[in-house]
């Protein structure tokens, strides 16, 4: 297991600098998309950065992105940087490229939160806002139960009793759809999908159009943290069972890429507005093999608690600054643990799954 953890960073600016240094050292071509209407906590500029390694006109591309959920980008950034530092560019086959999207949601990355500057979950924001938005009646019922103005153990316990009662009444699938699936009615709630496309949504679309309009095969990896056992990574594959994409994912990354082994959610929500689903419409000419990869951190209840803590910090934390600092530390631990063993597992495992994806897309079978 690697002991060199220097690919990790403690700020967005540090992570970006390490990523760009590794990309330049690897001979990558770089494009930068600045979020001109926002900045980091120290006033630093924010960017979606794109590094292209390999054949300039490659028809086969491994695309790996990080930071869809802001703070989760720290682990993904370290994985990208470590792969480049390991000499990954030398492992790219002819007519093939590796493209890294660094910081899909740079505002959330810099501010160490999952959401955008408008409290929007970017992974619920890729919807057509000119059409009626999907209703989530289950969330409507949950919202007043999970938005306490105070954040202490008594309030947290009461919130989880309400969640347990709701889940017992409606069942695991309906609970997951209500809690995790995304909602478009409460801007001060959790997993809010927004009322308009976010800058990060528009920047991602622009970057895809400018880099991938001519590719024929794409392996897409969207990197996250949270779901799954600690020290392990888990795959979420949303290709339909029996489809060609499903078969390719299983061939390239193994059976666990499609069987949801070790996923700590008892039932995955039916999501709307995800980046990975929207991507397919952006590159209609390409054959796509897509997976979400999560580096596990905490048990399910710990991640749920973190989601609720984020909302409290955003809308009530300024009233209790000392308590807010404590909650922020707990929140960061949920998505970006400082533990050396966890970080070493991220680096070791990401080398393997990046190279497996690269080998698969290099073969590019139909």
Of the CA atoms within 13 Å of residue 339, those in its CB half-sphere come to: 13
- The whole-model pTM stands at 0.96
pLDDT tens readout for residues 108-128? 999 999 999 999 999 999 999
Which residues, 6+ apart, have CB-to-CB distance to 79 below 8 Å?
7, 64, 66, 223, 346, 347, 350, 354
Q: How many domains does the chain have?
A: 1
* Confidence band, pLDDT 50/70/90 cuts, at residue 1: very low
pLDDT tens readout for residues 176-204? 999 999 999 999 999 999 999 999 999 99
* Confidence band, pLDDT 50/70/90 cuts, at residue 265: low
- Asked whether residue 149 is assigned to any structural domain, the reply reads no
pLDDT over 90 (residue 271): no
**What is the pLDDT at residue 53?**
98
pLDDT over 80 (residue 266): no
pLDDT over 70 (residue 161): yes
Q: Which domain holds residue 355?
A: 12-136+195-363
Average pLDDT for the chain? 95
**What is the pLDDT at residue 364?**
60
**What is the pLDDT at residue 2?**
46
CA distance 7 to 77: 8
- Asked whether residue 340 is assigned to any structural domain, the reply reads yes
- Asked whether residue 146 is assigned to any structural domain, the reply reads no
pLDDT tens readout for residues 241-258? 999 999 999 999 999 999
- Asked whether residue 165 is assigned to any structural domain, the reply reads no
Residue 312, beta-bridge partner list: none
The torsion angle over the Cα atoms of residues 150, 318, 188 and 307, rounded to 10 degrees, is: -70
- Asked whether residue 179 is assigned to any structural domain, the reply reads no
Q: Which CATH number covers residue 93?
A: 3.40.630.10
- Asked whether residue 153 is assigned to any structural domain, the reply reads no
- Asked whether residue 225 is assigned to any structural domain, the reply reads yes
pLDDT over 80 (residue 69): yes
CA distance 114 to 120: 9
CA distance 179 to 255: 28
């Amino acid at each position: 297991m690697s002991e060199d953890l220097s690919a990790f960073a403690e700020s967005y600016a540090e992570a970006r600098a390490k990523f760009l240094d590794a990309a330049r050292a690897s001979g990558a071509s770089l494009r930068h998309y600045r979020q001109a209407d926002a900045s980091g906590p120290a006033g630093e500029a924010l960017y979606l950065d794109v590094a292209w390694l390999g054949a300039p006109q490659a028809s086969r591309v491994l695309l790996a992105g990080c930071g869809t959920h802001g703070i989760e980008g720290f682990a993904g950034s370290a994985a990208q940087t470590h792969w480049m530092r390991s000499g990954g560019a030398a492992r790219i086959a002819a007519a093939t490229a590796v493209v890294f999207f660094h910081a899909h949601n740079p505002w959330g990355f810099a501010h160490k939160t999952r959401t955008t500057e408008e409290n929007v979950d970017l992974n619920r924001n890729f919807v057509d806002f000119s059409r009626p938005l999907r209703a989530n009646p289950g969330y409507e019922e949950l919202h007043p139960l999970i938005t306490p103005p105070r954040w202490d153990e008594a309030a947290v316990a009461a919130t989880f009793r309400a969640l347990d009662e709701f889940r017992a009444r409606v069942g695991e699938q309906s609970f997951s759809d209500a809690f995790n699936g995304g909602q478009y009615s409460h801007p001060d709630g959790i997993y809010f999908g927004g009322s308009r496309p976010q800058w990060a949504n528009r920047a991602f679309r622009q970057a895809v159009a400018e880099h991938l309009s001519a590719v024929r095969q794409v392996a897409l990896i969207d990197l996250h943290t949270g779901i799954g056992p600690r020290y392990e990574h888990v795959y979420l594959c949303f290709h339909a069972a029996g489809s060609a994409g499903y078969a390719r994912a299983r061939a390239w990354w193994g059976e666990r890429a499609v069987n949801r082994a070790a996923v700590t959610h008892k039932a995955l929500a039916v999501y709307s507005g995800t980046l990975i689903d929207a991507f397919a419409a952006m590159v209609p000419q390409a054959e796509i093999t897509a997976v979400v990869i999560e580096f596990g951190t905490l048990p399910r209840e710990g991640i749920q608690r973190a989601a609720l803590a984020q909302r409290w910090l955003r809308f009530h934390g300024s009233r209790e600054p000392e308590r807010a600092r404590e909650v922020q530390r707990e929140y960061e631990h949920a998505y970006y643990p400082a533990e050396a063993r966890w970080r070493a597992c991220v680096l070791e495992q990401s080398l393997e799954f990046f190279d497996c994806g690269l080998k698969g897309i290099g073969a590019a079978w139909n």
